[in-house]
Structure 1
Amino acid sequence: MASSWSLSSFVSPRLFLTSGGEPRTREADGFFRVPCCALGSRPRKAGASSRSPSNTSSAAAGRAAVKAAPPPKKRHWKEGEFPGVSEAAVSKPPRTPIKNVKKKVDDRAAAKAWVSTVTEALAEKIQKKQWQEALEVFEMLKEQPFYHPKEGTYMKLLVLLGKSGQAYRAQELFDSMVEEGLEPTSELYTALLAAYGRGDLLDEAFSVLNKMKTLPLCQPDAYTYSTLIKACVEASRFELVDSLYQDMSDRSITPNTVTQNIVLSGYGKAGKFDEMEEVLSGMLESTTCKPDVWTMNIILSLFGNRGEVDLMEKWYERFRGFGIEPETRTFNILIGAYGKRRMYDKMTSVMEYMRRLAFPWTTSTYNNVIEAFADVGDAKNMEHAFNQMRAEGMKADNKTFCCLIKGFSNAGLFHKVVSSIQLAERFEIPANSSFYNAVISACAKAGDLMEMERVFERMKDRHCAPNSTTYSILVDAYRKEGMTDKIYDLEQENPKMFGVDVLAK
């Protein structure tokens, strides 16, 4: 079923590929103005303009004397002697021409400018989370004679690849770092471990941990174990968490508050409330792992996402009684929870309370408000919140545009879905799985399955791995149209991701 709108016009390579621009140049902050001084002629003495006969005759006599002088004798140069050059001048080394000196200075300046440009370009790609472009710039940097491997650069790239779901590329980068002669550290190994953990590659992550244990200068610490525990928790492998706790105890590594918060959050998301309560009680009784504002945020977020606003409010008061003060993220959690329950009065009250206490509204604050209106298809209030966000100078992020696309799609305003994606392109918003899923869902709601398939192919071409949400959207769309063959093709394409839960929906 074709619709009157099309995503082909805006799903261009430039949307999902980084637009290649020329390197930025640094302009001068100001101009140095050299004042022009008027050079006046020397004033004439009084009477200098009058010519007396005596003066005229003297000048004539001088000219006659010059004409009468005999011509100089011609000098015959000896063989091998260069005219006009003294012995002292010959003994001095030849001077470099001015133009060559200037060329050397310009070359050095150009080299320094190139170093600055390529380094800034790499930092910009990392900041924008464009891992492919960052690797390309990094390869250009490595080819330059001034390149020297640095731990900080590799650390940033490893973290970027890990967050982008590119664990194996992170391993390749790590291996190339070792080949360049840069000694790995426990921090670099932990970054590699985190990359495997984010990709749900627990066997590889444990291999990195075992490797670290064999290296005297790269021993795992509390942060390393916390990172691996987080990966196990997110994969619901709680039996591995217990073994890691035992391993930490054997190595005399004490879990800190960060570690406990990770486990607390995992138990809560998995619905293991008895275990969650046990961990929280242990934190309250501990002297080294006392609960902090992150603990507070985890508990409030848990009940807020479940829609249990009453429990969320009770726990908020309890944490305040423990002496834990809320922060901006705490209020954002409350705003998000009230928004999902359409409790707009309380949502507004929290925002006003933040203003009174001088807590700044952040991008997350506006995202929660935009999401609240997007869920119900209230395009008018959603746009108003977005416009106010931009007016206050807040930078929109990936979630902002996912919510806008979803909101306009729920409202049936598909032409505004197109304009939102075009705006995301101009803002150079990185297209991750959530962004593609929002666009694919909009295509499905518009009944344009052909465009939906194009976006899905684009997603895979850009090495953005589809997740269970992606397949659920596709299956629902095909099922409504009775396209069972398409569902079968998806199942054959990715049997591991295409699980029972997707088919059951």
Structure 2
Amino acid sequence: MSSSAAAAAAAWSLWFSSSSSLDNQRHRIMRSPGFQVRCAVAEPMKKKKVWKQGEYPGDMSSFDRNQRRTPIKNIKKKLDRKSNLNPWVNTVTQALSEAIDTKHWLTALEIFKMLKEQPFYQPKEGSYMKLIVLVGRCGQPQHARNLFNSMIEEGLEPTAQIYTALLAAYCRSNLIDEAFKVLEQMKKLPLCQPDVYTFSILIKACVEASRFDLVKSLYQEMAERCITPNTVTQNTVLAGYGKAGKFDLMEKVLLGMLDSTSSKPDVWTMNTILSLFGNMGQVETMERWYEKFRNFGIDPETRTFNILIGAYGKKKMYDKMSTVMEYMRKLSFPWTTSTYNNVIEAFSDVGDAKNMEYTFDQMRAEGMRADTKTLCCLIRGYANAGLFHKVISMVELAGKLEIPENTSFHNAVLYACAKADDLMEMERVYRRMKDKQQCRADATTFAIMIEAYKKEGMNDKVFDLEQEQEQETILKVT
């Protein structure tokens, strides 16, 4: 470990200890008698109730026994009828809501299908809206279309919001042509005209697909409809131009935002630019833009500092990474899970298991909950350090912490298997991954496995994987 990395670890230890002393001081103050006296609130005196004869609840002599049984019996019948119906209704609807919240799209569709078969079912636009958004975000555009068609068959009138959700589902799966077909359908319906959000989603998809010719035409159509691009739209285009290396166009859009009254640059604009150059490793350019945005009067936020920390970490600039973290403390910006993840990732990339573990321990000591990225970085870090027995411990820990085992998580385990030259275990992990409906292989998955097979000269396995990757791409499109 370099001297700068050691200095960074020592600095973090000092900050954590100072944070702990502040907590102890706060607890001493709260336990002091003076503090308790000041916090005490006198309760107002309650006026004593004077009961009339026969009115006191303990005196039941004025009531006839038979008169008391009738209302209780009727109430019991009502409660029985209610208990026979509501538990089932509440259980199913609650299960559907939980499946949507946890993004278990397949479970949500199965519960919704069961719900529609019940006699108490009433079609609601809100339920369809949530489900279409869910399956769209999970890369299931065909299910989004099926839900949309089912909604129409049940007699619900589509709205601009429903159409926009369907369009977004196609955009997320890079089915731009299908998304444009939805846009044309909207333009034919007077009550479902596209708005700035519809165009923004479509522009984002075109930007990510590098279809900048379509972006230009969409801007023209927005102008014809007197729809002004908002800051979110401009930030999306900024990011797209930056990723494509079109820095002249990016700067042109940014200058236009500075002169605009409806799409002024904000902290998201700052984060977009800083993240762009940070991910490219152009730290000096990132720092210049940071100063420019500060001169524009835009204040940084926690995410801004996390972007800087991540960029410095990838370049192994531990001194600057520590300086930013110290600056966050001075400005009372909290260290978040993303802050710790960036630091863990910095040590993970170079296989520095000691500092990686120290940061993870401090993260848990401050009550920060680990997420999927945390475990992915730890697994990759141990693999880079050659500590494969600890990879197994991290997989077990993920299960104990109920960390979602998504595609990124499986890719990290596949990377560790490939690093250990354990191709049999790599294949077993891949089979388990394919067995999960909500965990599909991506380009990173195939790249890890193909490289591992090429290293061992297993060309037949390489060929089979390349064929499987082509089929997976076709399935995603269709």
Which TM-score applies when normalising by structure 2? 0.79
Q: Provide the secondary structure at the position in 1 that maps to 2:355.
A: helix
Q: Which moved more, 1:287-296 or 1:428-437?
A: 428-437
- 1:471–1:498: 8 Å Cα contact kept in structure 2? no
CA–CA distance in structure 2, aligned partners of residues 434 and 190 of structure 1: 28
Structure 1 counterpart of 2:260: 286
Provide, for residues 392-450 of structure 1, a one-character-per-residue CA deviation record: whole Å limited to 9, x for no partner: 33232222222122112112222222222222233333333222211211111121212
> Please, which moves more after superposition, 476-485 or 382-391?
382-391
Which secondary structure does the structure 1 equivalent of 2:470 belong to?
A: coil
| CA displacement 1:282-341 (0-9 Å, x = unmatched) | 112222221111110011111111111111111111101101111111111111111111
Q: Distance in 1 between matches of 2:460 and 2:321?
A: 46
Q: Is the counterpart of residue 216 in structure 1 residue 211 in structure 2?
A: no
Letter in 1 for 2:247: F
The residue number in structure 2 matching 1:59 is none
Q: Is the 8 A contact 1:293 1:324 kept in 2?
A: yes
Q: CA deviation at 1:99?
A: 7.7
Identify the match of residue 207 of structure 2 among 233, 236, 246: 233
Q: C-alpha distance in 1, partners of 2:435/2:344? A: 30
From the superposition, tell whether residues 150 and 424 of structure 1 become closer, same or farther in structure 2 (CA, over 3 Å): farther
CA distance in structure 1 between the aligned counterparts of 2:235 and 2:200, rounded to whole angstroms: 10
Per the alignment, residue 111 of structure 1 pairs with: 85
- Confirm or deny that 1:410 pairs with 2:379: no
Question: CA offsets, 1:225-253, max 9 Å, x none?
Answer: 11011111111111111121122122221
How far is 1:478 from its partner? 0.5
Bigger Cα displacement from structure 2, 426-435 vs 170-179? 426-435
Cα distance, 1:97 vs. partner?
A: 12
Residue aligning to 1:42:
none
Residue 101 (structure 2) pairs with residue 127 (structure 1): yes
| Structure ID, larger Rg | 1
Q: Deviations over 1:262-291 (max 9, x none)?
A: 000001111111111111111122222211
Matches within 5 A, 1:186-265: 186-265=160-239
Looking at structure 1, the residues matched to 346 and 81 of structure 2 have their Cα atoms a distance apart, in angstroms, of: 57
- Paired letter, 2:210: S
Larger helix proportion, structure 1 or 2?
A: 2
User: In structure 1, what is the equivalent of residue 442 of structure 2?
Assistant: 467
Aligned residues of 1:468 and 1:498 also touching (Cα < 8 A):
no
Report the number of matched residues. 406
**Which residue does 2:248 correspond to in 1?**
274
Does residue 449 of structure 1 match 2:449? no
**What is the deviation of 1:104?**
4.9
Question: C-alpha displacement at 1:120, in angstroms?
Answer: 2.9
Indicate the larger mover: 382-391 or 313-322.
382-391
1:490 equivalent in structure 2: 465
Contact 1:491 1:498 in 2 (8 A): no
Q: 1:457 to 1:111 in 2, by over 3 A?
A: same
TM superposition shift of 1:178? 2.1
Q: Alignment RMSD, CA only?
A: 2.4
Which residue, 323, 338, 343 being the options, matches 1:364?
A: 338
Distance 1:355 1:110, change over 3 A: farther
Unaligned regions of 5+ residues in structure 1, if any? 1-94, 500-505
> Contact 1:468 / 1:497 at 8 angstroms: preserved in 2?
no
Give 1:415's aligned amino acid.
H
Aligned pairs for 1:335-484 (under 5 A) are 335-463=309-437, 464-484=439-459
Deviation at 1:369, TM superposition (A): 1.5
State the secondary structure of the residue aligned to 1:217: helix
Deviation at 1:155, TM superposition (A): 2.4
User: Secondary structure of the equivalent of 1:437?
Assistant: helix
Distance of 1:356 and 1:150 partners within structure 2:
50
CA contact (8 A) 2:302 2:333 kept: yes
Paired position in structure 2 for 1:330: 304
Deviation, structure 1 residue 96: 8.7
CA contact (8 A) 2:170 2:176 kept: yes
Would the alpha carbon gap of residues 311 and 406 (structure 1) be closer, same or farther in structure 2, given more than 3 Å must change?
same
Question: Does the CA contact (< 8 Å) of 1:155 and 1:188 recur in 2?
Answer: yes
Change (3 A) 1:147 1:367: farther
Structure 1's 189 and 313: CA in aligned 2 closer, same or farther, altered over 3 A?
same
Gaps of 5+ in 2: 1-68
Confirm or deny: 8 A CA contact 2:270 2:290 kept in the other structure: yes
Matches within 5 A, 1:140-159: 140-159=114-133
Opposite residue 489 of structure 1, the aligned amino acid is D
Partners of 1:112 and 1:349 in 2: how far apart? Answer: 57
Aligned to 2:295: 321
**Alpha carbons of 1:393 and 1:188: their partners in 2 closer, same or farther (altered >3 Å)?**
farther
CA distance in 2, matches of 1:498, 1:201: 12
Structure 1 CA distance for aligned equivalents of residues 115 and 107 of structure 2: 12
Confirm or deny: 8 A CA contact 2:446 2:469 kept in the other structure: no
Paired AA for residue 313 in structure 1: E
Normalised by the length of structure 1, the TM-score is 0.75
Amino acid at match of 1:258: V
Identify the structure with bigger relative contact order (alpha carbons < 8 Å, sequence gap 6+). 1
Aligned to 2:57: none
The percent of aligned pairs where both chains have the same amino acid is 70
